[in-house]
Structure 1
Amino acid sequence: MNRSSSFRKSGFTGLLLVGLVVLAAALCCGCIGNQDQTPAEVQTIAVTGSTTVLPVAQLAADEYMRTHSSADIQVSGGGSSVGVQAVGEGTADIGMASRDLKSAETEKYPSLVKHTVAIDGIAVIVNPANAVSSLSLDQIKGIYNGTITNWNQVGGASQEIVVVGRDSASGTREFFYEFVMKKEDFVPTQIEKNSNGAVKQTVQHTPGAIGYVGLGYLDGTVKAVSVGTDGTVVEATLENVRAGTYPIARELYMFTTGEPTGLAKDYIDFILSPDGQAIVEEEGFVRVN
């Protein structure tokens, strides 16, 4: 092989080696560039508790996550007592409740901080076929303590009253027990359900039934009766709750252990923002600001 041929071959080999080095460097730089573009680490929080607060919490979570790709907000129900216990024990970041803390809960979880996110009315509902359109607070109490057992005792047809309420974990039940029942026992035959939706469905399919649900759960499948107090009968409407004239109303809460930080704070702040409070109103509750 002559010197010229050898030079060409060695020159070609050199160029090939240089090309491989350049390619490797480019690929390496590309890898580094891809690492720089790795999505932000996903932050996850758990929100659990009241089925009354649940629709607002879920819709707010969906809307927040739509514009914050690194947020993972997991929302579930179970009742106010479940929510308070979960956040108190540290198995959830936010506990939802449709009642204030009980004294025993305050003692057990002294670091819980309350955030009022909405105001709700509790509607007393009957089957749409029921002719009764209004009840006084005393009549409602009489039905739920077993003193009144037939609809003809309150102006309706002769039909046995089927009493439907919530289970012991419910904040709605707790408020109803304190405000309407004045802490008198419920009738032993009361059918207990674990959610607003379950109460509504039972009343919808049971002609003689009566139940109570958060105002946001009202639709054409059940009828809300007007509630009388001090001689005045008031319809169960959002406007009357806002005006303060509807008697069976309460605040809705989210609890955190200490002041919230990070995603939990941002999420609660969003619910209290104009966009979040618009969701509150769309779900049939009264905004707090």
Structure 2
Amino acid sequence: MATFLKKESTILSIAIVVALAAITSGPLEASVTLEAVPEQSTAPASFPSPASVPSNRIVRIDGSSSMDKVNEALKRGFEKQYPGAKVEITRRGSDLALQSLLAGKIDLAAIGRPLTPQEKAQGLVLVPVAREKIAIVVGPDSAFKGGLTFVQFAQMFRGQITNWSQVGGPSAAIRFIDRPDGSDTRRIFRATFSWWK
């Protein structure tokens, strides 16, 4: 997961990301599993935190609901570090958040998907703040109790495997409950796994 900034962001916008880093050893650590950013990703930049911000300053964050716990921890930490400042959080999804960021309507876009080449070309910069895992789950009432390979799962998703008997389970139709096409989870699969496409 990442927060995105426009290159010309103010030091205050950058400070809110720094405020998150300052509190990750506290309450955030207990509620969100934070892992190191993958080696192939750009390492997070470090920014100096300002000594103060105006007491009436409002920092606006929009993005994916998958960033809720991170955003709430960021809000608590920033408002504690800068008394009188407020953080407003909305959850309109990654695409709308990035559009709002580019239009100057928000200060930070907190999204849980990679930045596209087109978005990078518009001046957005990645600041990694967390990484979470995606799980594929079989319902508790399913007669299938085995394991699946990534290839088998991809074949199921593409409609090449339609019955549990094709992967060693009982004869029963496979039903998917899936995220919408535009969701961050779906985009991560497409960007990460070549077999997903």
SS at match of 1:114: strand
1:115 aligns with 2:144: no
Task: Tell me, in whole angstroms, the C-alpha distance in 2 between the residues paired with 1:120 and 1:62.
Answer: 21
Match of 1:101 among 115, 119, 126: 115
> Could you say which residue in structure 2 is the equivalent of 1:45?
59
SS at match of 1:56: helix
> Could you say which residue in structure 2 is the equivalent of 1:169?
182
Following superposition of structure 1 onto structure 2, how do residues 67-146 of structure 1 map, counting pairs within 5 Å?
68-107=82-121, 109=122, 111-130=123-142, 131-146=144-159
Structure 1 residues 66, 103: closer, same or farther in 2, change over 3 A?
Answer: same
> Could you say which residue in structure 2 is the equivalent of 1:264?
none
> Could you say which residue in structure 2 is the equivalent of 1:206?
none
Structure 2, unpaired ranges of 5+: 1-53
RMSD over aligned Cα atoms: 2.2
SS at match of 1:126: coil
Identity of matched residues, %: 27
**Greater than 3 Å deviation, 4+ residue runs:** 66-69, 180-183
**Which protein is richer in strand relative to its size?**
1
Deviation of 1:142 (Å): 0.8
The TM-score normalised by the length of structure 1 is: 0.45
Task: Tell me, in whole angstroms, the C-alpha distance in 2 between the residues paired with 1:48 and 1:169.
Answer: 16
Structure number with larger C-alpha Rg? 1
SS at match of 1:142: helix
Structure 1, unpaired ranges of 5+: 1-39, 185-289
Aligned length: 143
The TM-score normalised by the length of structure 2 is: 0.63
Following superposition of structure 1 onto structure 2, how do residues 165-204 of structure 1 map, counting pairs within 5 Å?
165-180=178-193, 182=195, 184=197
Deviation of 1:141 (Å): 0.5
Deviation of 1:181 (Å): 5.6
Task: Tell me, in whole angstroms, the C-alpha distance in 1 between the residues paired with 2:105 and 2:137.
Answer: 35
Structure 1 residues 178, 67: closer, same or farther in 2, change over 3 A?
Answer: closer
